[in-house]
Amino acid sequence: MTTARTQKIALITGGSRGLGRNTAVNLARKGVDVILTYHSRRDEADAAVAEIAALGRKSVALKLDAGDIASFDAFTQQVRQALRETWNSDSFDYLVNNAGIAGRVPFAETTEALFDQLVDVHLKGVYFLTQKLLPLLADGGRIVNLSSGLARFTLPGMSAYAMMKGGIEVFTRYLAKELGPRGIAVNTVAPGAIATDFGGGLVRDNEEVNRHVAEVTALARAGLPDDIGPMIAALLSDDNRWINGQRIEVSGGAYL
C-alpha cells in the first residue's frame, strides 16, 4: 500500500556518474526527485546530489554494491527510510537498473572469478535487487533495465558481458508480463558505444576506438551521455506509458 502523493521519485543505481548521473539530471529537469546509488565515490555522489538540488529537486545518495546480493535487505531498508524522511512516502515511481562494471576479456582468457562477478553485478544483482525493491515501487510505475548494443552485435572480448545483457533483455519481458496487473511497464534500453569513463574511458579516450565506433555508426560518431539520459527520462514519462516489454537500442544506428 502506498502513500498518496503527486511528486514523482526515481531510484537510479549507479546514478553518481556516467549514464546514471546523466539520467538523474535529466529526470530532475523534468521535475522528478531522485534516489541515486554510488559504489565508492561519495564525492561524485554528493556532486550529483548538488547538481540535482540546483535544478530545484530533492535527491538522496545511498551506497550500494550492486553485486553484493546479501546487502540488499539492508539497502532496501535504507530506501524505505529515505522515502519516509525526505518525501513522507512509502513508495517510489521509477526504477532504473543502471549500475554496472566492464568486462572486456577474450573468451579464452575469461576466468571463472570474472564471469561470476559479471553475473552478480549485471544479472543476479539486477534480478534480486528489483525483487527486494518491488514492494516499494508504486502501482503504475516504470522499470528500465540497461542492456547494451553488444547483445545484438558482437565484438571480440565481450562474450561474458554481452551474455549478461542478453539475460537482462529476457528478464525485462518476463517482468513486463508479471507486473502488468499492477500497471508497471518494464523496458530495456540498450546503449551503443558511449564516451564515458566506463571501461576505463576506452571509447572516450582511445582515438582509434572512437574512430572505429564512428565508422560503424550511421550517424558517424560515438555516443555521448546526453544521447542516453534524456531518452530514458522521456521513456519514463507518461507520454510513453504504452511502451512495455520492449528493447530499445540507442546507438545512433551502429552496425546496421
What are phi and psi for residue 189, nearest 5 degrees? -110, 125
Of the CA atoms within 13 Å of residue 98, those in its CB half-sphere come to: 29
Q: Longest Cα pair distance anywhere in the chain, in angstroms? A: 54
Check if 161 is active-site: yes
DSSP secondary structure letter of residue 139? E
Query: Facing residues of 2 across strands?
Result: none
Interior/surface letters 221-246, b for 16+ CB within 10 angstroms, e for the rest:
ebbbbebbbbbbbebbeeeeeeebeb
Q: Which of 38, 94, 127, 161 is catalytic?
A: 161
Beta-strand ranges (E) seen in the chain are: 9-12, 33-38, 59-63, 92-97, 137-146, 185-191, 247-250
Beta-strand ranges (E) seen in 147-193 are: 185-191
Nearest Cα neighbor of 3 from 179, 181, 139 is: 139
Q: How many other C-beta atoms are found inside a 10 Å radius of the C-beta of residue 122?
A: 29
152: left (phi over 0), alpha (psi -120 to 50) or beta: alpha
Nearest Cα neighbor of 252 from 214, 210, 212, 217 is: 217
Looking at the annotation, which residues are catalytic?
A: 161
